[in-house]
Structure 1
Amino acid sequence: MGVYFLLIEETTGVRPPHGFIVTGNGERVKIENTEELRTWVLDVADQIRAARRQVDEAIPVNPRPAQCRSCGMREHCGQRRG
């Protein structure tokens, strides 16, 4: 819900005060658009961005040549041995 709040605010320029979710049993639950929720969502988004930047970084490994010969990713690895 917090992400939806941010998207609505970005699109319309208006910060919604609350929203509703419907649970599996049909109950409607009111979710307040608090500063705490907003901060949490933005923090998680920053963590996701940081993790995505690290995806292309090489993971330092020190395999034995025999491990590399049997590895299915050998042809794509810049750290292979043997």
Structure 2
Amino acid sequence: MNGAPVLAALVLLLVLLLVAQRQAIRRREQRGIPSGDLVYQDTAARLDKTLYSRRYHLTGRPDHVFWDGRFYIPVEVKTGRTPQSPYWSQIMQVIAYCALVEENTGIRPPYGVILFEESGKSFEIDFTRDYEQVLADTLNAMRQQRSRSEAHRSHQNPRVCASCGFFDRCDERLL
């Protein structure tokens, strides 16, 4: 029996797999997704455990965490309109995820990524000591405000109300 057709089919299959892999890597790089292995995911397909920080008394679930061979890199995926630059709240969210990743892995990420799904545009946010201090100060200010008074709604938008973290226990909800 002649093995040439089988060998040709195997070579063709290998070439097709290499081309597909190269295209996937190129798409990933174009979208700003770090190279490396996906080690954590908070999506409908896979739901990993909530990360907790004793230092900040903070919990969170980054959408993805990649291991690039040296660092764990958190990635937050945003839907909807892509701004010219990320909003301050989005930057602080990624900084919080960096802090959570560091405390849970023992390895400090050099940055986190905000990825806007619709446009594919991404922003790398450096995890600096200054940003980390702003995170700590912000969390402390929020806790002090929370202990001094009740929070009241300050909007008239039912969609914002429905997505609020206090929706289930708010006496002033719009819906």
Q: Shorter chain as normaliser: what TM range?
A: 0.5 to 0.7
Structure-2 separation of matches of 1:2 and 1:32: 8
Superposed, 1:1-82 pairs within 5 Å as: 1-23=94-116, 24-55=118-149
Gaps of 5+ in 2: 1-93, 151-175
Structure-2 separation of matches of 1:25 and 1:42: 32
Q: Which has the higher contact order (CA 8 A, sep 6+)?
A: 1
CA-atom RMSD in angstroms: 1.5
SS at match of 2:107: coil
Residues matched between the structures, number: 56
**Percent of pairs identical after alignment?**
30
TM-score (norm 1): 0.60
TM-score (norm 2): 0.30
Gaps of 5+ in 1: 57-82
Q: Which of the pair has more CA radius of gyration?
A: 1
> Which structure shows the bigger proportion of residues in helix conformation?
1
Structure-2 separation of matches of 1:44 and 1:22: 23
Runs of 4 or more consecutive aligned structure 1 residues displaced over 4 Å after TM superposition: none
> Which structure shows the bigger proportion of residues in strand conformation?
2
